[in-house]
Every structure is written in C-alpha cells, then in structure tokens.
C-alpha cells in the first residue's frame, strides 16, 4: 500500500478517462497512503465508471473512508463497483464509506462487496444514511457475507434506503452473519 499512491498519481494524468477498472487482489496492501491513491484518481473528473477490486489484502475501513473522500471530485460517476472482500474492515468505519458515496449525485448503479471482514453492524445505519443521498440509484447490489452483522442493524440501514425511490434492482446478501428472525421483519 505504501507505493499505491504512485499508481493513483499517474492514473490522474489521464484527463479524458471515463472508465477505470483496477484489480489488486491478494497482495500485501495495508491501506497505508490509500488516501493519496484516491487523491490521484480524483483528478479524472470525467470518470463515469469506476470498478476497483482489493480482495484479500489488509485494508481497514478507515483507509477506505479517507480514499473515498477524495473520490467525491469524480462528480460524473454513474457506476461504482467496489470489492474489498477478506480485508480488515470493521463496521465502525463503514459510515465513512456511505458518507462519500452519497456525494455522487448522478450515481445510478452501485455494487459493494465486503465479504469476510469484521463488520459488526455498528454504525451500519449511518452507512445506509450516506447511500440514501444517491436518489437516482436504480441498481443496488451489496454483499456482506461472513461478517458479524445483526438483523437489527440491517433494519436500521434499510430504513434510510427508502429515500432511493428510483430503485429497480436490489440485491442484498448477508450469508453467515448473526441475523435472527426476530429482527427480519424490519428488513
């Protein structure tokens, strides 16, 4: 991760870039200087499609938050696909991810994968609150398999999502969490 900012820096020089897909699965990325990586990409102000995969690394939610705050400059984004499966992300920092995603006014398609992290559902409602600002969303696909999320937190999260009144496709996956039937009615 210490060297990832250099990747962001040179990508940021592509003034006309509209579609960016990067895969860095199974490396030793810790999230160090991850914010500067986002800062570089943020110079691509014409981006409409951004797909990033950082599965099987050691990235924390705090670093994803810092990274994303820079991305808010990519105001033309229509499709965002982020995959951070099997990292070290905890729910406490997830609200930061929701907060910066909520700044993408034109976003219509959002796909997020956070399988196999340590997400407990803490501040999960605020994560939903952030996403709810994307009022133009038509497609939302979220995967939180193999975490420690409870049904109560999924309920709070979803109440905010009601603001996304244009949704046509909703794909939610919470396999192998700590959801009990008592709270499922909220979902």
pLDDT band (50, 70, 90) for residue 53: very high
For residues 108 and 155, the model is more confident at 108
pTM over 0.75: yes
Give the contacts of 50 (CB within 8 A, at least 6 positions apart). Answer: 19, 20, 21, 41, 71, 74, 77, 79, 80, 81
Closest CA to 12 of 38, 34, 48: 38
For residues 176 and 60, the model is more confident at 176
Strands across the sheet containing 109-113:
19-23, 49-53, 79-83, 109-113, 139-143, 169-173
Is the pLDDT at 185 greater than 90? The verdict is no
For residues 71 and 141, the model is more confident at 141
Alpha-carbon distance of 56 to 23, in angstroms, equals: 11
Is the pLDDT at 52 greater than 90? The verdict is yes
Segment 48-64 shows an average pLDDT of 90
Q: The tokens of 87 are what?
A: 């990292």
Is the pLDDT at 10 greater than 90? The verdict is yes
Alpha-carbon distance of 156 to 183, in angstroms, equals: 10
Tell me, what's the pLDDT at 1? 64
Tell me, what's the pLDDT at 44? 95
């Amino acid at each position: 991760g210490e060297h990832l900012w250099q990747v962001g820096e040179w990508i940021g020089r592509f003034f006309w870039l509209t579609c960016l897909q990067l895969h860095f699965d199974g490396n030793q990325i810790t999230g160090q200087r991850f914010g500067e990586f986002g800062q570089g990409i943020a110079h691509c102000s014409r981006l409409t499609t951004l797909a990033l995969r950082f599965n099987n690394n050691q990235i924390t939610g705090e670093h994803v938050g810092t990274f994303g705050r820079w991305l808010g400059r990519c105001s033309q984004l229509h499709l965002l696909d982020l995959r951070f499966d099997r990292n070290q992300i905890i729910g406490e920092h997830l609200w930061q991810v929701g907060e910066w995603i909520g700044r993408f006014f034109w976003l219509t398609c959002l796909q997020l994968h956070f399988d196999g992290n340590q997400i407990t559902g803490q501040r999960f409602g605020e994560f939903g609150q952030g996403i709810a600002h994307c009022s133009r969303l038509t497609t939302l696909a979220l995967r939180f398999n193999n975490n420690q999320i409870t049904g109560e937190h999924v309920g709070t999260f979803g109440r905010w999502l009601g603001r996304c009144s244009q949704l046509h496709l909703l794909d939610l996956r919470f396999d192998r969490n700590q959801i009990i039937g008592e709270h499922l009615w909220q979902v």
